[in-house]
Structure 1
Amino acid sequence: MKVPAQSLIQALINASEKGALIARVIRAESALLELLVQEKKGDQKNYRFVQDFKTLADVLVQETVRHDLSEQFPGIGENIHGEESNKFTNVLGESISVKIMKDQEATAQLLCSVLDDNMAAASMLARVAHEQVMMDAGPKLEDVSVELDLEDLGVWIDPIDSTAQYISGECGVPNTSGLVSCGLQCVVVLLGVYSQSSGLPLIGVCNRPFVETNGDKWTGHLMWGVALNDCKVFSLPYEKTNNNKQNLAVLMSQSEKTDVQKKFRASCSVDHVAGAGYKLLCVNQGLADAYVLSKNSTYMWDCCAPHAILLAQKGGVISYKSLCDFNDDPSSCSELSLTHQITYHYDNTHGTESQKWCNQEGIVAYSSLEALKAVILANRHI
Structure 2
Amino acid sequence: MKRALNFNAGPAALPFEVLEKAKEEWLNYNGTGMSILELSHRSTEFESVLNNAKRLLAELLDIPDTHEVLFLQGGASLQFTMVPYNLITEEKKRGYYVLTGVWSEKAMDEAKKLGDPKTAASAKAMNYTLIPSIDDIQMGDDAAYLHITSNNTIYGTQWTSFPVTGSIPLVADMSSDILSRPVDISKFGVIYGGAQKNLGPSGVTVVIIKKDLIREDASHLPTMLNYHTYYKNNSLYNTPPSFAIYLLSLVLQWTKDKGGISGIEKINRQKADLLYKTIDESEGFYSGHAEKPFRSHMNVTFTLKNEEMTKKFLSFAKEEGFIGLNGHRSIGGCRASIYNAIPLAHCERLADFMLRFKSRN
Do both proteins adopt the same fold according to a TM-score greater than 0.5, normalized to the shorter chain? no
Higher share in strand: 1
The structure with higher relative contact order (CA 8 Å, sep 6+) is 2
Name the TM-score, length of structure 2 as normaliser. Answer: 0.26
- Give the TM-score, by structure 1 length: 0.25
